[in-house]
Amino acid sequence: MLSGSELLIAGLFVLSLLLMSVLDIALSSVTKISVRRLLDNPKVKSAPALVALVENRSEVLLSVHLFIELLVVASAVFLFGAFGRREIPYVAGMPGTIAAIFLIVLIFRQLVPRVVATRRPEKVLLYLLPFLRFTHLLMLPFSSVLTRVMNYFQSWEEEVEPAKVAEASEEEIQAFIDAGQE
Closest among 19, 6, 16 to 129, alpha carbons compared: 19
Residues 63-98: b if buried by 16+ CB within 10 A, e if exposed? bbbbbbeebbeebbeebbebbeeeeeeeeebeeebe
CA–CA gap between residue 107 and residue 133 (Å, rounded):
25
H helical segments located in 30-56: 32-37, 47-55
Q: How confident is the model at residue 163 (pLDDT cuts 50, 70, 90)?
A: low
Q: How confident is the model at residue 181 (pLDDT cuts 50, 70, 90)?
A: low
Q: What's the pLDDT tens digit per position in 46-74?
A: 878 888 888 888 888 999 999 999 999 99
